[in-house]
Chains A and B, each alone.
Chain A
Amino acid sequence: MRRIIFLIIFGLFPLVSYPQSLEEILKNSQDFDNRKIVFEGEVIGEPLKGEEGVWINVKQGKVSIGVFLEDSEAINKIKNYGSYKRRGDWVQIEGIFFNNCPIHLERDVHAYKLKVIKPGFLLREEISLFKVKLSLGLALLCLTLGIICFINLKYVRRD
């Protein structure tokens, strides 16, 4: 039953490029196998070299997936990759989803269209004053304890 509904929803409107939820795609992967999908997400990490193409990893919410681009030039559009210090570019990917990709033997998306929707940005580190104060306090505590311990070991005879 579920399958039929999906066929109706996604089978009948293949031309409408409406972004889909990646989590839903992965949950019902059988229904999307070898089909065109459109989804959005944040690019993370870095571009990774592949044979005759390039890999990027796109993350949407809690899940992420590898996207293979045959056209290595396409990734020049991406300026920011998500990491500790950066929010990655938010991109829209149009491509074909493979449960078991015959070339790469993985679950992946072969993209033929990549569009940057929202550019990423540098993430500012906010150092809370509390942490600084706490570490200062602890440093003093630790130093005193260390000295007491040292004296204890060195000068107080064990009985």
Chain B
Amino acid sequence: MIISPEKRDFSTIFHVIGRLCLGLSMFMLLPLFCALVFGEYEPFYDFLIGFLSTASLGFVLMLLFPFKKEIGWQHSFFIVSLGWLVASVMGAIPLYLSRHWESFLDAWFEAMSGFATTGLILVKDLDHLSFSHNLWRHLTMFIGGQGIILASISILSKVRNGSLGLYIGEGRQEKIFPNIIATARFIWKVSFIYLTVGVTLFTFLLSYKGLGISKAIVHGFCLFFASFDTGGFAPQSQNIAYYHSFSLEIATMVFMLLGAINFNLHFWLWYKNKREIFRNFEIRTFIISLFSLTILLFFSLKPLTHSVIFRKGFYQLVSAHTGCGFTNLAPREILSFAPLSLTLLILAMGIGGGVCSTTGGIKLLRLGFIFKAMAGEIKRAIMPHKAVYRESFHHLKDTLIEEKHLKETFVIVGFYFLVYLLGGLMGLFYGYPPLASFFESVSAAANVGLSLGVTNPGMPSGLKLTYICEMWMGRLEFLSIFVSLSYIVSLFKK
């Protein structure tokens, strides 16, 4: 039997989304303030309009739909999936007003790309974009990366029923502390500590390179948001290649890796056991997969010298594997990579980083599970048929792999493959070459942001919508979206 929602349920859902809108509007005050500081008056009005319309929408929703029912398990999926859509549409308003995006669809694409920490861009003439718009583009990554819902959970003082559903709906599987509020607060605390460290480091490196101090600070914030939340936007059109700085590239690499690590592991390393990093299942999987991909990449880029392979090949590989999407290549340079290297990048993108982090993709834990399951099946076949054999893994503590875990893993991995495939087919349908369409599709669905040039303002609207959908689904890990969709279908069946 399927429980289908009724009127009162939707009232609650829209009420909560109204509150989310109010929260989002508060974030828009930051670029507004930035516009004032730098004396950018036109962007000031853009953000004023954005702020006011988002806040108004929030008030309207709250007034029209009173809070009638406690948030339950099934509401939370709706809230999460709808909340992200609404947030991206509202977040696109100030971008669209700047006239750097050709249509509202393009601005929406960019906003969704930001919130989902993807990093595919459709902006025109990025080098003449104002500081405040740039800050907002990158801030969406921070908001989306930490989780729109997570932000609102952390300000609650008491847990209502269903907060856990919201948390899980947003694509995080593990709680760090038993209590959800403690977890949310901890995630923010860690992020802010890294924020301080990261922004200081980036600002220092940039001002050493010759950027003025105020510009260095803005760019420092932008780069931190984009790297730690594995986003991949950059304030200039050449992305990281703009800075021509090897040390900066290394620094971004470090923050990408930190962002791709499970938040739970951050907690463990800080407060508990430092040696966990050597024993952790995800880290081990990561090292194995990164190592093997690096070796293959090395052979695929053989004609280049070793240092060039490190600077160009390895950086893209790390960027793809962590789901960041920074690139230090000149425009079109990635097209000169051999098909094998591009396929390796697709693999790295498809895998992604750790669970409970800001990366997209299948995630390391699931990849490891799959290999363990395969090995387990083979071992079982070799052993006497009465032998009891259980595979276990070490993630913070030793755990036996159960059927339940495996089923979940295979379902989600199946979903990812389906979406990668469908997106790629969509690209083929519009007449793009196979490798490029699959590269772009995986890049969108796994929230990476590397591009072979398919994503540009001139691409067909249908493809833009496809990628928006992929980014949205990939970020929320399907569950929320499919649950809400099936509820909507159940409404029509009644």
Chain B, range 39-72, C-beta contacts under 8 Å to A: 40-42, 45-46, 48-49, 52-53, 55-56, 59-60, 62-63, 66-67
CB interface residues, A 132-153, toward B, < 8 Å:
132, 134-135, 138-139, 141-142, 145-146, 148-149, 152
In the complex formed, the residue of B with least CB distance to A145 is: B59
Q: Within A72-97, which residues are at the interface with B (CB < 8 Å)?
A: 82-85, 87
Give the residue name and chain of the A residue nearest to B242 (CB).
A57
Residues of A close to B238: CB separation below 8 A? 57, 64-66
What is the CA–CA distance of A83 and B215 in the complex, to the nearest angstrom?
Answer: 11
- Complex formed: what's the CA distance from A30 to B127 in Å? 27
Tell me how many residues of B have a C-beta within 8 Å of chain A.
52
Partner of B45, one of A27, A63, A107, A127: A127
Give min CB distance, A87 to chain B, whole Å: 8
Please indicate the chain B residues that have their CB under 8 angstroms from the CB of A100 in the complex. 304-305, 308, 312
Residues of A within 8 A of B66 (CB): 158
A64 touches B237 (CB 8 A): yes
In the assembly, what is the distance between CA of A63 and CA of B242, in Å? Answer: 12
Could you tell me which residues of chain B, from 311 to 343, have a CB within 8 Å of some CB in chain A?
311-312, 328-333, 336
Interface residue stretch chosen among A2-10, A13-21, A42-50, A110-118: A42-50
Contact with B along A32-75 (1 / 0, CB 8 A): 00000000000011111110000101010011111010000000
Stretch at the interface among B183-191, B204-212, B280-288: B204-212
Q: Is B307 an interface residue (CB 8 A)?
A: yes
Contact between chains at B52 and A55 (CB < 8 Å): no
- From B53, B130, B208, B246, give the contact of A84 (CB < 8 A): B130
With A125-B41, A131-B49 as known contacts, state yes or no: A141 contacts B332, CB within 8 Å.
no
Determine how close the nearest CB of chain A comes to the CB of B219; give it in whole angstroms: 10
In the complex, the answer to whether A82 meets B331 with C-beta atoms within 8 Å is no
Interface presence of B243 (CB below 8 A): yes
Whether A135 and B49, one on each chain, are in contact in the complex, defined by CB atoms closer than 8 angstroms, is: yes
* Complex Cα spacing A68 to B244, Å: 10
CB within 8 A of B56: which of A29, A82, A141?
A141
Quick check: B55 and A146 within 8 Å, CB to CB? yes
Cβ of B40 and Cβ of A125 under 8 Å apart? yes
The distance from the CB of A21 to the nearest CB of chain B, in whole angstroms, is 13
Q: Which residue of A lies closest to B303 (CB)?
A: A100
Contact A135 B48 (CB under 8 A): yes
* A42 CB → nearest B CB, Å: 8
C-alpha spacing A77/B242, complex, angstroms: 21
Q: Is the CB of B209 within 8 A of A105?
A: no
Q: How large is the interface on A (under 10, 10 to 19, 20 to 34, 35 or more residues)?
A: 35 or more
Q: Are A30 and B336 in contact (CB under 8 A)?
A: yes
A106–B42 CB distance below 8 A: no
The 0/1 profile, CB within 8 Å of A marked 1, for residues 214-226 of chain B is: 0100000000000
Q: Across the interface, do A145 and B56 meet the contact criterion of CB distance under 8 Å?
A: yes
Q: A30-B336, A45-B236, A59-B237 are in contact. Are A105 and B308 (CB under 8 A)?
A: yes
Alpha-carbon distance A44/B245, docked complex (angstroms): 17
> Residues of B contacting A46 with CB < 8 Å?
210-212, 215
B241 touches A149 (CB 8 A): no
Q: B131: CB under 8 A from chain A?
A: yes
- B7: A residues at CB distance < 8 A: none
A148: which B residues are within 8 A, CB to CB?
Answer: 59, 63
Query: A44-B127, A45-B127 given as contacts; is B312 within 8 A of A125 (CB)?
Result: no
| A44-B236, A82-B128 as given contacts; A141 in contact with B52, CB under 8 Å | yes
CA distance A131 to B308 in the complex (A): 49
The answer for the CA separation of A121 and B455 in the assembled complex, in Å, is 32
Residues of B close to A57: CB separation below 8 A: 236, 238, 242
CB of A131 to closest CB in B, whole Å: 4
Note all chain A residues with C-beta closer than 8 A to B243: 48
Minimum CB distance partner of A66 in chain B: B244
8 Å CB contact of B330 from A26, A141, A149: A26
Q: Cβ of B97 < 8 Å from any Cβ of A?
A: yes
B129 at the interface (CB under 8 A from A): yes
Residue of A nearest to B56 (CB): A142
Pair A84/B131 contact, Cβ less than 8 Å: yes
- B333 and chain A: residue at smallest CB distance: A107
**B127 near A152: Cβ-Cβ < 8 Å:** no
| Known contacts A66-B244, A131-B46, A134-B49, A83 near B55 by CB under 8 Å | no
Which A residues have a C-beta under 8 Å from some C-beta of B?
26-27, 29-30, 44-50, 55, 57, 59, 62-66, 68, 82-85, 87, 99-100, 102, 104-108, 123, 125-127, 131-132, 134-135, 138-139, 141-142, 145-146, 148-149, 152, 158
Q: List 19 A-B contacts (CB under 8 A).
A: A44-B127, A59-B127, A64-B127, A64-B238, A66-B238, A66-B244, A84-B40, A100-B305, A100-B312, A104-B244, A105-B246, A106-B328, A108-B330, A127-B42, A131-B42, A139-B48, A145-B63, A146-B55, A148-B59
For the complex with contacts A66-B238, A105-B246, 17 further pairs of A-B residues with Cβ separation under 8 Å are A26-B333, A44-B236, A45-B236, A46-B211, A48-B211, A64-B127, A64-B237, A65-B331, A66-B242, A66-B244, A83-B127, A84-B129, A106-B330, A135-B45, A141-B52, A141-B56, A158-B66
